[in-house]
Structure 1
Amino acid sequence: MKNSLSAKVFLGLVLGFIIGTMIQYVIPPSWAAAGFATEASTGLGGMFVSMIKLIVVPLVFISITCGICELKDLSSFGRLGTKTFSFYIINTIAAIALTMAIVMWLQPGVGVNLGAMAENVTLAATETPNMWQMVINIIPSNPFQAFAEGNMLQIIFMAIMTGIAIQALDKRGGPAIRSFKMANEIMMKLITLVMSLAPYGVFFLMISLGATLDSSKMLAVAGYIALVVSMFIFMFLVVYPMLVFITTGIKPVTFIKHIREQIMFSLSSASSNATIPVTMRTVTEKLGVSRSVAGFGVPLGATMNMSGAAIYTTIATIFVANAYGMPMTVEQMLPLGFTVLLLSIGAGGVPGGGIVSIGICLHTFGLPVEALAIVAAVDRICDMFCTTANVVGDTAINTIVAKSEGEIDIPMQGQAVTA
C-alpha cells in the first residue's frame, strides 16, 4: 500500500482539498499569497489535464485501429461492435429508468424557492440535437480537422475504417499491423509516465476546487446535491460492481479495489475524455480485458456511454420543475427519458458537459432556463461524481463484453493481472 499509486492519488486529493478550503476560509483575502496559490494551482492542475488530453486523440485512433487489427476476423468485429454498442445503450436506458423511479418518489426541489435565487439571470436557450444530423456528422469531410477539434465520433470512424482496410490486406498488412502494435505500446508507456504525475496533478486540481467552491449556493440546494451525489455513489460502488459480479464472477470488493485510481482521477479531472488513458490501464492491466476489446470499447464508451450524464440531467430537470412549482407529470417521463437519451449520447466528455444537456432539457420542456444559473453554481461538485459514474460504467461494460467474448483473464481477488 506504501507505494500504491491510488493511495498517493487519494492523499493528493484529500490534502489538496483541505489546503484549498483553508485558502478560501482561513487565509485573509488581502494576502497576495492566497491569490497566487489559487492561480498557480489552477495553472498547474490545468497543465496536468492538458498533458492527459495530449495523448487522448492519438490513443483513441491507435488503440481502436490496433484492436481491429488484432481480431481474428472481421466478422468478430461486427459482433463485438454490435454487442458493445447495445450494452452501452441498454446501460443508459436502465440508468434513466432507475433515476426517474427514485426521483419521482423522492420529489427533490419541492418547497425550494429557486426563482428567488436565480432572478435577474438569463442564459441563452439551445436546441435538442438532431439524431440524423449526428449520424451524418460521424463521417468527417476533413480528417485533419477532426483530429484538431478532437471530434471523437469522427476519429473512431476513421480508426475503424483504417483497421478494416489493414485487415483486408491479409499478409501484406503485416508491416502496418506491427507498426500500430508498436505505436500502441508507446501509448501505453506514455500513459504510465503521465500517470506517475497523477498525485501531483490531482493535488493542484483539488486546491483550485477547494479555493473556489461557492459554499453558500451549495448549502441552499444541499438536498439536490446530496441526491445527485448519492445516486452516483450508488451506481459506481453498488450497481456496477454487482452487475460485474453477476456476469463475470469478479467479486465486488475486487472490482472496486481495481478501479480506485480511476475513481480518484475522474473525481479530480471531471472529464470522461481525459480519463480514457486511466480507464484503458484499468481494464487491461487490472481487470484482464484483452487489448482488442478495450481498444474499441473504452474510447467508444467515453464518447457515447454517458449514463452519469443521463442521471444528472434527469435529476436536475425534475428538481428545477419542482423548485419552480411546475412539477412534471408521469406522462412527461417518456419524452423526457428519450430526450435525455439523445443528449447523453451527444454529451461532450469534458468538464461541464452536463450543464449543456440540462439547459437543452429545461428549454425543451418549457422550464425556466434561468434556473441553470443555480444548477451551474453547484455543477463542479456534481460533475465530479457524474464523470466517475460514466467511466466506471465504461469499465463495467467492457469487462462484461470481454467475458462474453472469452477475451478476459479474470484477476484473483485482491490481485491485478499485471504487477
Structure 2
Amino acid sequence: MNSKLNGFFKNYSNILLLLLGIFIGSLVGLFFPQIVEQLKPVGDIFLNLLFTAVIPLIFFAIASAVAGIDQKQRLGHLLSTMMLVFLMTIIAAAVFTIFCVWLFPIGNPTVDVTKAGPLLDQAKQESWGEQVVSFVTVSEFNQLLSREHMLAFIIFSFLVGISALRSGEAGEPFRQFLYAGNEVMKHLLIYVMKVAPIGLGAYFAYQVGTVGPQLFGIYAKPMAIYYGGGLVYFFSFFSIYAFMGGGRKGVMRFWRNNILPSLTAISTCSSIAVIPSNLEAAKKISIPESVANVVIPLGASLHKDGSAMSSIIKIAVAFALIGRPFMELDTLLLALGLTILVSIVAGGIPNGGYVGELLMISAYHLPVEAIPAVMIIGTLVDPMATLLNATGDTVAALLVSKWVKK
C-alpha cells in the first residue's frame, strides 16, 4: 500500500505542487488583496525565466531531432504513412474539439485580464499575405530570438536540422553539439519549472486579487468540455480507427488489450512511460513488430491527439478571457495550424504544452496575462490528455500496418 502511495505521489508530485501553489495563491488573492501587488514581481520573474529558456530549448530540440532521423530508404514508405496517420488523427481531434466548443460555447465572461498588466505589442492591420510572411520569416537573424517570431524560429530550427542531417561526416561534430545542447536545455527547463508552483501561485494571487473571484468561473465549463469531449473521442474515434485498421476483430482486440496502457497513462501522466505496455498491446493486437517498433516510440513524441484537443480549449479560453470571438474562420485556421505544430513539436520537450501556450500568445498577439490561465487549463487536463496521447499511438500503429500492407 505504501509503495502504491509513494508511486502515486512520485508520478503526480509536480501536478500536485502546482495545484497547491495555485490554490494557496488564490486564497491569498481572495482574502489578502492588499498584498498582491508585492507578489506580482515573483510571478513576473517566473514568466521571464520561462520566456528566456524556451527559445534555445526549441532550437536544440527540433534541430537535434531532425538531424538524428534515420536515412534508410526502406523506412521511407512506413514513415510517410505514419506521418499521414498522425496528421489525420490530430486534425480530427482538433476539429472535433472546435465542434464541441461551438456546441457548448465558453462565452465571454466579464473578466478583463488586460487590466492585470502590460500587453504585448499589438500587430498592425495587415493583409493575409503580409501576416503569413511575418509569421514564417524575419528580415534579420536577431529577430528570430524574440518570442514574437516563434513560427519563423521553428522553421529556421527545422532547416538547421535538415542541413546537419545532410552534411555527412563533416557535420558529425555539429550534430553532437545539437544533441548535447538538447540535453542541457531540457534540464534547464526542468529546473525553471521547479519554481512554477511559486511563480504561478504569485501570479494567480495577483489575478484573483485584481479581477475578483469571477475569474474562477472560466474554468468549470472548459474542463467539462474537455473531459466530456475527451471521453467521447476516446471511445468513439478510437473505435473507428481500430475498425479502419482491422475491422470488427480489430476493434475487439484493441479494446481488450488497451486496458493496461490506459491505466499506465492515467497513473503516470507520461506518454514515454506507456511505450512498453503499448508495444506489448500491439503484439497482442497482431500489429507487426516492424511497424509497432517504429510508430509507437515515435508516436510518443510526435502524435498527441489529447494535446491537440487541449490546444483548442486553451485558445478558446484565452479568447473568452479577453472578450474576443473565437468562431471566426481566420482564427480557426490559425488554431488548426498551431495545434498541428504544437502537437508534433512539443512532444519531445519537457512541459512542452507550455511552449505551445507561448506560441499561441505570440501568434494571436494576446496579453501575456493570459498565460497563467491557459497553463492552469493544461495542468488540469493532463491525465486525460496523456490517456489520449499515449493510447492513440497503438491504434495509429494499427492503421499504419493496414495501409502499409496495401
Q: Which TM bucket (shorter chain)? A: 0.5 to 0.7
Distance in 1 (CA, whole Å) between partners of 2:95 and 2:253 is 28
1:326 match: secondary structure: coil
Q: Which residue is 2:134 aligned to?
A: none
Aligned match of 2:302: 304
Counterpart CA distance in 2 for 1:353 and 1:107 is 27
C-alpha displacement of 1:143? 4.4
Whole-Å Cα distance in 2 between the matches of residues 319 and 121 of structure 1? Answer: 19
Aligned to 2:112: 115
Matched residue of 2:347: which SS? coil
1:290-301 correspondence runs (5 A): 290-301=288-299
Matched residue, 2:261? 262
Deviation at 1:268, TM superposition (A): 3.1
Aligned pairs (5 A) from 1:10-409: 75=74, 77-108=75-106, 110-115=107-112, 119=116, 127-130=149-152, 132-139=155-162, 140=164, 141=171, 142-145=174-177, 147-148=179-180, 221-249=219-247, 250=249, 252=251, 254-284=253-283, 286-332=284-330, 333-349=332-348, 352-406=351-405
C-alpha displacement of 1:118: 8.9
- Give the gaps of 5 or more residues in structure 1: 1-7, 25-59, 69-73, 152-211, 408-419
Q: Deviations over 1:287-322 (max 9, x none)?
A: 222221112212222222222222111111012212
Q: In the alignment, residue 94 of structure 1 is paired with which amino acid?
A: A
Which residue of structure 2 lines up, in the alignment, with residue 45 of structure 1? none
Aligned partner of 1:235: which letter? Y
Q: Secondary structure at the match of 1:221?
A: helix
Contact 2:269 2:383 in 1 (8 A): yes
Cα–Cα, structure 1 residues 306 and 402, in superposed 2: closer, same or farther, change >3 Å?
Answer: same
Change over 3 Å in CA distance of 1:122–1:9 after alignment to 2: farther
User: Distance between the aligned counterparts of 1:323 and 1:350, measured in 2?
Assistant: 27
Q: SS where residue 107 of structure 1 aligns? A: coil
- Alpha-carbon shift at residue 114 of structure 1 (Å): 4.3
Decide whether the 8 Å contact of 1:225 with 1:382 is kept in 2.
yes
Distance 1:400 1:243 in 2: 7
Distance 1:246 1:369, change over 3 A: same
Q: List per-residue Cα deviations over 1:148-182 (Å, max 9, x = no partner).
A: 4668xxxxxxxxxxxxxxxxxxxxxxxxxxxxxxx
Distance between the aligned counterparts of 2:405 and 2:6, measured in 1?
Answer: 37
CA–CA distance in 1 between the matches of 2:230 and 2:5? Answer: 19
Partner SS state of residue 369, structure 2: helix
State the AA in 2 paired with 1:334.
L
Mapped contact 1:114–1:371 kept (Cα < 8 A): no
Aligned to 1:198: none
Aligned-pair distance for 1:218? Answer: 7.2
SS in 1 for 2:388: helix
Retained in 2: the 8 A contact 1:312–1:386?
yes
Contact kept in structure 2, 1:107 and 1:322, CA below 8 Å: no
Q: Compare the two structures and name the one with the higher helix fraction.
A: 2
The two structures have a TM-score, normalised by structure 2, of: 0.60
Q: Distance in 1 between matches of 2:334 and 2:355?
A: 18
Deviations 1:339-362 (A, max 9, x none): 322222211345532222123113
Deviation at 1:113, TM superposition (A): 4.0
CA displacement at 1:406 relative to structure 2: 4.7
Q: What TM-score do the two structures reach when normalised by structure 1?
A: 0.58
Q: Could you tell me whether the CA contact under 8 Å between 2:301 and 2:347 is conserved in 1? A: yes
SS at match of 1:227: helix
SS in 2 for 1:347: helix
Query: Hey, what's the Cα distance between the residues in 1 that align with 2:224 and 2:114?
Result: 19
* Partner SS for 1:363: helix
Aligned length in residues: 293
- Measured on the aligned residues, the alpha-carbon RMSD in Å equals 4.2
Distance in 1 of aligned mates of 2:158 and 2:325: 34
Which residue in 1 is equivalent to 2:55?
none
Tell me the amino acid that sits aligned with residue 287 of structure 1.
I
Kept in 2: contact 1:218–1:225 (CA 8 A) = no
Identity over aligned pairs, percent: 22
How many angstroms apart in 2 are the aligned matches of 1:341 and 1:349?
Answer: 14
User: Structure 1's 251 and 136: CA in aligned 2 closer, same or farther, altered over 3 A?
Assistant: same
CA distance in 1, matches of 2:177, 2:261: 30
- Rate the CA distance shift 1:365–1:254 in 2: closer, same or farther, 3 A: same
Cα distance change, pair 294–331 in 1 and its aligned pair in 2 (3 A): same
Letter in 2 for 1:314: I
Structure 2 residue matching 1:129: 3-state secondary structure: helix
